[in-house]
Structure 1
C-alpha cells in the first residue's frame, strides 16, 4: 500500500472531518521530540551565536564611539546605531526560534551568520566596508568570526539535523497573522528598495552627464547620504523579511526554483551594493572634494561605472518583482526529495 493509501485509510479526528490526513504527519517520536529539548549541538550553537552577536555589537559600539570622539559622527552613525539595536533583537529572536526547533529560525541564523562571516572577514582583510579601529575592536571582530564559524558548523552536525527533522512537521511554519504581517513588511520594504535604487541610478546618470561641478557634487553627496543611511538597512530588512516569509511557509527557501532564484539574486544585489556601488560613491566624493575635472577625467569613469552598477541593481530588482508575481518554474531537487519522503 502506498503512503497516500495508508494516510487516507486512517481513523480518528482527521477521518471524522471527512478529509485525508496530511501525508507528512509526524509520528509519536516527532511529537515527543520538542519536549525532550534540543541536543547538545543545538545548545552550543545557540551559545556560539549569542557570543558572536554580542562581540559584533560591542565592536560596532566601539566604532560608533570612535566616530563621536573624532567628530565624524553624522547621519550614518545614527543608522549604525539603529541597525545595531535591530540586529540585537533579531538575532536573539532567531536564536530562541532555533532552540524551539523552528526550521526557519535555523535558516535565518545560517544566512546571517554566513553574511557576518563574510563582512567581518572583508573588514579584517581591509577589503571595503568598515575599517576596524584599534586592537580591541579587531579582537572582538576575530572573536565574532571564530564563534560564528563554530556555531555554523554545529547547526548542521548529524544530531542537530536529526532533531530538526523530527520536530519539522510540528514547527515548520509561522502563524498566519505573523505571516501576513511579515509579508506586508516585505512588500513595502522591497518597493522602497527598488525606488531607492532607481533614484540613485537617476542621480548617477545626472552626475555622469552634467557639466556643472556644483550639480555633480550635489548628486554624489546625496547618493552618499542615501547609501549610508537607507540603502544597507533597506536591503538587509528586505532580505530578512523575505527569508521569514519563504522559510516559514509552504514555499520553503530552497524548495521552489523561483524562491531560490529570488534569494540568491537578493544576496547578489546586496553584495553589488556593498562591494561596488558603495565603493564607487566613496571614490566619486573623494574626487569631487579634490576638485577633479567634471568631464574628461577620472570622474567620468567612476560616474559611468556607478550608473552601470545601479542599472544592473534596478533591472535585478524588477526581475525579482516579476518572478514574485508569476511564480514560474517548478520545484528544486531538494523540494522534490522532501515532498516524496515517505511517512514513517
Structure 2
C-alpha cells in the first residue's frame, strides 16, 4: 500500500474537522463551577444599598411630616407617601435579586442608585426639586449620597464581576409569566405618561395664549396638581418596568441600539421634567399668586418656555413609541460580543483554518509519496 493510499484512507483529520474542539465547547467559564454564595463585595453592596434607601426614605418621611405640620399637605403628600412605600419595596426586591445573582437586578440597582445620587446631589446643591428642610434632612441626604456611591462602586469590583459572570447563564432572564405581566404594565404606564404629557402641553399652550387671568390660573394650577401627583410617579414606573423588560429578557438593556436609545431618552425626559418643567410650573404658579400681568410680562416668558419644554418631551415620547414599534438599527458592540452568530462565525473560521492546514498537510504527504 502506498503512502498516498494511507493518507487518503486516514479518517482522523475528517473526524477532527467535524467535531468542535473541547476547549471551544466548554470554555473556562463552563469548566469553573459557580461559587456557592455571593462574594463579600455583593454583601457590602447590599448593605450600602439598604442604608442609602433607608436614609432616603427617612428624609422623605421628615419632609412629609413638615408638610403636615405647616398645613401644606395635600394630594401631593399622598403621592409622596405612595412613592416612598413603592421605592422601599422595589429597592428591597432589587437588592435580593442582586444577592441571587440576577444580572438584571444589578442593572436596576445601578440605574436607580445613579438616579438617586443625581437627584440627591441636585437637592443638596439647591438646583432642582424640593429644598431640604432643616439640618436633619440634610444629614440624611448626605448619608444616602455617600452610601449610594460606595454601593455603586462595590457593584462592579472584580470579585463581583467574576461571580456575576459565573452565574449569569442560569439566571439571566426573568420568568415568562413575569415578563408578560411587566410588559403589560410597561405599555399601560407608558400610554398614561404620553397622555399626561400631551395634556400638559395643551394646558401650557392655553395658559401662554389666553388673555384671561382666571383661565391662566386654572391651567397652571391643574398642571401643578398633575405634576405633583401623577407625572413623577408615572415616568419613574415607566422607567422601572422598561428596564425590567429590557435587562431581564433576550433584548438586553444595552445589546440593541433601539433599546439603549429608549433607555437614555427615557432618563433624559425624566430629567427634563424634574429640572426644567417642574421648576417652570412652580414659577408660573408663584407669578399667578402674585397677580402678575397675564400678557406682556414674565408670565409670557415662563409660559412659552413651559410649552416648548412640554413639546420637546411629547415629541421624545412619540419617537420612543415609534422606535418600540419598528425596532430599527442593529446590535451594539456588547450585543455583537454576546451573539451566538459571532461565536459560531469565530468557531467556523477556526475550523476553516484547521481544515486548510489539514488539506495542506495531506497535499504535502501526497507529493512526498
On whether the aligned pair clears a TM of 0.5, the verdict is yes
Partner of 1:42: 42
Matched, 1:225 2:225: yes
**1:285-300 matched pairs, under 5 angstroms:** 285-300=285-300
Say if 1:69 and 1:164 are closer, same or farther in 2 by CA, change over 3 A. same
**Which deviations, in whole Å up to 9, do the C-alpha atoms of 1:86-120 show, x marking residues without a partner?**
00000000000000000000000000000000000
Give secondary structure in 2 for the equivalent of 1:27.
Answer: helix
Return the offset for 1:72.
1.1
Partner of 1:319: 319
Return the offset for 1:232.
0.2
Say if 1:132 and 1:249 are closer, same or farther in 2 by CA, change over 3 A. same
Say if 1:323 and 1:135 are closer, same or farther in 2 by CA, change over 3 A. same
Note if contact 1:24-1:169 (Cα within 8 Å) is conserved in structure 2: no
Unaligned runs of 5+ in 1: 11-22
Give secondary structure in 1 for the equivalent of 2:32.
Answer: helix
Partner of 1:13: none
Inter-partner Cα distance in structure 2 for 1:2 and 1:104: 39
**1:263-278 matched pairs, under 5 angstroms:** 263-278=263-278
| TM-score, normalised by the number of residues in structure 1 | 0.91
Inter-partner Cα distance in structure 2 for 1:210 and 1:179: 46
Partner of 1:95: 95
Partner of 1:27: 30
Inter-partner Cα distance in structure 1 for 2:17 and 2:81: 56
Which segment is superposed worse, 129-138 or 84-93?
129-138
Matched, 1:104 2:104: yes
**1:110-189 matched pairs, under 5 angstroms:** 110-189=110-189
Return the offset for 1:135.
1.1
Partner of 1:54: 54
Note if contact 1:120-1:141 (Cα within 8 Å) is conserved in structure 2: yes
Partner of 1:16: none
Inter-partner Cα distance in structure 2 for 1:4 and 1:252: 31
**1:241-280 matched pairs, under 5 angstroms:** 241-280=241-280
Return the offset for 1:274.
0.3
Say if 1:70 and 1:166 are closer, same or farther in 2 by CA, change over 3 A. same
**Which deviations, in whole Å up to 9, do the C-alpha atoms of 1:37-90 show, x marking residues without a partner?**
011001100000000000000010000001101111111100000000000000
Inter-partner Cα distance in structure 2 for 1:52 and 1:27: 36
Say if 1:127 and 1:24 are closer, same or farther in 2 by CA, change over 3 A. farther
Inter-partner Cα distance in structure 2 for 1:25 and 1:202: 58
**Which deviations, in whole Å up to 9, do the C-alpha atoms of 1:149-172 show, x marking residues without a partner?**
000000001111110011110000
Inter-partner Cα distance in structure 2 for 1:42 and 1:3: 43
Return the offset for 1:191.
0.2
Inter-partner Cα distance in structure 1 for 2:177 and 2:133: 44
Of the two, which has the highest radius of gyration? Answer: 2
Note if contact 1:26-1:169 (Cα within 8 Å) is conserved in structure 2: no
Return the offset for 1:28.
5.2
Q: 4+ runs of 1 displaced by more than 6 Å?
A: 1-4, 23-26
Inter-partner Cα distance in structure 2 for 1:49 and 1:310: 34
**Which deviations, in whole Å up to 9, do the C-alpha atoms of 1:194-217 show, x marking residues without a partner?**
000000000000000000000000
Return the offset for 1:2.
9.4
| TM-score, normalised by the number of residues in structure 2 | 0.85
Partner of 2:365: none
Superposed CA RMSD in Å reads 2.1
Give secondary structure in 2 for the equivalent of 1:331.
Answer: coil
Return the offset for 1:338.
2.1
Unaligned runs of 5+ in 2: 1-15, 347-369
Note if contact 1:269-1:316 (Cα within 8 Å) is conserved in structure 2: yes
Return the offset for 1:128.
1.3
Give secondary structure in 2 for the equivalent of 1:119.
Answer: helix
Return the offset for 1:27.
2.2
Partner of 1:15: none
Partner of 1:195: 195
